Structure 1
């Protein structure tokens, strides 16, 4: 609502404090101040409404306002403004400009307003006033360009203002070379008007890579990677661009990492990924008759498995095709538009070392800081994974396992050896069952006396021997043990060997390798059972019996098909489905999102696997609580209150849920992205 004007001197003081008018002479400032009218608004009153004609701009003298924009049927908060801020100017730049947001007073608000006719007439004025209005117009247009037509439109207004302030205008004519191939990357360009072409010169040949127009960002790749320009940019039409120097861009990365992430995203979109050298390709057929392609890098012992769709993508990674080119080629070959699938597959190949791309410099990485876990939820998930899910590689071990196999391990794979192993397992297990009552009596008081603690090192030794069993089976089939290490999955500590070289074998050999670790634990339990026949000391009986029970528990835990344990690989290889968990989660999310029961009929195994995974994780936490509550109570006895046993059992159950969530979150996230962005055509 209009109000009685404040004095001319007060208006002049308000304008002089604003950067757009601060350089005006005293006379020009006074002339312009005379055209501003004061207005006052009550709390909750709308100053401008979205969609209304833009008839004036506003400069806030006191109070605050909220800016909202309509998104379908709801109002979305955009920002708050306070004293010294300007709004409403965007609508003055077009003859029939409309308000693009609603501005509402949050308290008592005083503003100065400048009518559209005065703003327009001022552009024709002489001297400092015209210069000031032109500067204001250029600032508004630059801000509008950044918001509407540049890669940075999603940034907050304050960051857009800061970025705009660091840009300088560069005019060009058709034929001008804006960026020269081979130069150092010390600036980037944002095309604001006109058209340019990107060309690459190789000797006397020149090849056009792209023609780009308003909103295109150029030259940022050399800033990110530290490499020289790999192409030239030449103007096709007259126009102008905004130049951002390298130091200014790096400073903006540091102030708001989203600018850097946006630039990196552009780099990846223009990337021309190339197959890494020295990659071996092996084909194999699945039980369903499909062809799988296994990539192997001998120098890094890395493997990657591709379906026929993935193989088509792999063949396009020639260092000449961009991500867009590859996506279009995939769409033409499969009649499926799946850009997220293409991007995910290539990203996985890059992460595994099978594709060469340009990398950002350490300085850029440092300016951007940690790029993972940007949200609170992401940081919590990352912290849980670091605490509850980790592994430590300790080298290949192939030579050592090979010597053990040649030195006698191969006997276990002959008919006589297999018969002995089966006999020991069956006989020893029967003895353990029959001596159970006697052994439980022998265990009473064993923890307090210290004898039963001998089971702990025996169990850890059995975990190592379990992995040795996998390694021996790998050598039995003439393949390499590509790595070994230790790890943790929540409350469970485990060892592992890398058996990826078995991907090149058929289903039966893979199943043997998957099961061999379990056979070792069953054999150890059988040997402990046979030892009970010779043991006379109650402490020895207790230790052997408990070790046999724990060995069978290890077998049962490893048979769990819902985590990366032997049971999962047995199920995956038996079904001959690579990436079973992620594909199953994706099918399940497709079913939940669409409600189409036909998905369950087409993919019953995947849907059942996901459902059983969720049931297992939920039920196992309850089982752990119910099992450990009386167990802890018996261990603590009268030395601790019953509440301590309750809290201990609850902590174990919560630890299980936390580790499970941390472990499954990665597969669920990949499946969710795949389900949201593309049809279910797995690679």
Structure 2
């Protein structure tokens, strides 16, 4: 070292910090870190020297830091069930290790020991946690690194159910009884699942997939392992997504507002009281007499609604402050949503399956309810799954039919207006649930009818990549019946939703006395609704085109 540096500790410290920054920048997770964050992080690292043979931490220890190798070799190992050592990896500069405890909130999952004399940079977790909140690329890189190094092990409690589709392909359903969650796998996905024995790394699983199915896709393997870990189907990989959220003020505000406007309350173990309800009264809806009565209510209700409409429109013009009925309707929309989901739940029970949870909430300004019908996935027959998907829509139609019939029974004009509006809302809810553009009841009816999982994704891919070719070569339309029917259903829904919105708009304008309006102005709102209805599928088509 030059003499003029021997008595300048500040310069020496600056030199060490600069070397630390260079080493941190070379490590894969920190490649894209901002200069400001790099300077801040390097100021908090501590240089430690480890002698050959010394253990840095043991498997099962609590972890509050991770290490970056400056020089030397580090052995990462675990103990087998028989007590013998199993070497997982030999790491050298500029590798990072010990980061898993930060991401999983668990103890050390392996032992780290020095094979040679080593110089390490010690990074405290408290500063890394702050870094993850502001540097999303670093968080993603650390998550990828953890998944890549992991040796995923199947949760022993998970049950595997298989059935064969009409086209001969096999679909596998994983059921986790611990939390009542399900996961659907393709044949390739099931092959990946079978490799998760706690011994193979992600890289080894990727290579086995390439050998067996001729598919080399590390991103797909990593994504599947992450999704299974988040859903607790893997016992030795825990992922906490809250560690990869940004802490910018506008993101915090947006997340808070979105949380308020998209609020849900789930009632766990709903199966017990749904089962009681089904055995006490629910089974009557599925008897022969019950089905006849329901069909009669739906048919008579449609006629009653149609015939009552001119009378109600006239009442809106003559009854004072009739628009108050629209405001009164708002709390009853939640009742309609609950009855819709109850239709799903009771139908699931009629087939002897389980309901793990139900719940209520609101989405933006609309009350919502939801039911976990995933247990029906285990039913190999298609018709029961179709009936469960249609049950909510049928419940909406029954509710609307009863309200429309009661319009002719009650004498009060205000009550007639309210019942008609409630019927209108229920009919519109039923129609909205038929939307094949979104993954709602109507979409899943088509999926189960054709026994075609991921129908929407396949249809988008075909429309983007194969449809232009099929126009020139019509024979390519053959054997694409599910996809063509799905795309035609989407087009038909867009036409109908545009017409319905236009009709409702005309009705509302008439109430306020605005009958004369330019045609081009009158179609603005219907077209906006049509565009918003298919915004999700437009984004998916754009993504497919870019792949």
Q: Normalising by structure 2, what TM-score?
A: 0.78
Is the aligned partner of 1:192 residue 2:70? yes
Shift of 1:302: 1.5
Structure 2 match to 1:310: 189
Structure 2 match to 1:500: 374
Q: Distance in 2 between matches of 1:136 and 1:593?
A: 62
> 1:97-151 deviations in whole A, cap 9, x for unaligned?
xxxxxxxxxxxxxxxxxxxxxxxxxx6x545379899877766554443334553
Matches within 5 A, 1:414-433: 414-433=287-306
Structure 1 match to 2:509: 633
| Contact 2:66–2:96 under 8 Å retained in 1 | yes
Structure 2 match to 1:47: none
Shift of 1:508: 0.4
Matches within 5 A, 1:279-678: 279-359=158-238, 371=245, 386=259, 389-446=262-319, 448-449=321-322, 452=325, 460-489=334-363, 492-505=366-379, 506-531=381-406, 534=409, 542-582=417-457, 584-585=459-460, 605-606=482-483, 609=486, 626-627=502-503, 629-637=505-513, 664=536
Structure 1 residues 220, 420: CA separation in 2 closer, same or farther (over 3 Å shift)? closer
Q: For 2:29, what is the secondary structure of its paired residue?
A: coil
Q: Distance in 2 between matches of 1:633 and 1:254?
A: 49
What's the RMSD between the two structures over aligned residues? 4.8
Q: Distance in 2 between matches of 1:508 and 1:564?
A: 19
Q: Distance in 2 between matches of 1:464 and 1:152?
A: 49
Shift of 1:476: 1.3
Shift of 1:249: 4.7
Structure 1 residues 589, 232: CA separation in 2 closer, same or farther (over 3 Å shift)? farther
**Mean CA deviation greater in 513-522 or 437-446:** 437-446
Structure 2 match to 1:128: 5
> 1:171-221 deviations in whole A, cap 9, x for unaligned?
567655555555553543322334333222457522211122222112233
Number of residue pairs matched? 538
Q: Distance in 1 between matches of 2:501 and 2:307?
A: 28
> 1:565-596 deviations in whole A, cap 9, x for unaligned?
32122122212233444555566676799999
| Contact 1:466–1:520 under 8 Å retained in 2 | yes
User: Structure 1: any 5+ residue segments left out of the alignment?
Assistant: 1-122, 678-683
Judging by fraction of residues, say which structure has more helix: 2
Q: Distance in 1 between matches of 2:61 and 2:270?
A: 48
> 1:278-313 deviations in whole A, cap 9, x for unaligned?
222222222222222222233422222112212112
Larger radius of gyration: 1
Structure 1 residues 374, 286: CA separation in 2 closer, same or farther (over 3 Å shift)? farther
**Mean CA deviation greater in 573-582 or 495-504:** 573-582
**Mean CA deviation greater in 254-263 or 209-218:** 254-263
Q: Distance in 2 between matches of 1:262 and 1:308?
A: 29
Structure 1 residues 380, 628: CA separation in 2 closer, same or farther (over 3 Å shift)? farther
Q: For 2:354, what is the secondary structure of its paired residue?
A: coil
Shift of 1:477: 1.0
Shift of 1:155: 1.6
Q: For 2:38, what is the secondary structure of its paired residue?
A: helix
| Contact 2:436–2:489 under 8 Å retained in 1 | no
Judging by fraction of residues, say which structure has more strand: 1
Shift of 1:534: 4.8
| Contact 1:388–1:659 under 8 Å retained in 2 | no
Partner of residue 163 from structure 1, selected from 41, 44, 48: 41
Structure 1 residues 404, 447: CA separation in 2 closer, same or farther (over 3 Å shift)? farther
Shift of 1:434: 4.0
Shift of 1:246: 5.1
**Mean CA deviation greater in 181-190 or 334-343:** 181-190
| Contact 1:384–1:659 under 8 Å retained in 2 | no
Shift of 1:153: 2.1
> 1:13-48 deviations in whole A, cap 9, x for unaligned?
xxxxxxxxxxxxxxxxxxxxxxxxxxxxxxxxxxxx
Shift of 1:499: 1.6
Q: Normalising by structure 1, what TM-score?
A: 0.65
Is the aligned partner of 1:213 residue 2:92? yes
| Contact 1:486–1:494 under 8 Å retained in 2 | yes
Q: For 1:154, what is the secondary structure of its paired residue?
A: coil
Q: For 1:278, what is the secondary structure of its paired residue?
A: coil
| Contact 1:511–1:573 under 8 Å retained in 2 | yes
User: Structure 2: any 5+ residue segments left out of the alignment?
Assistant: none
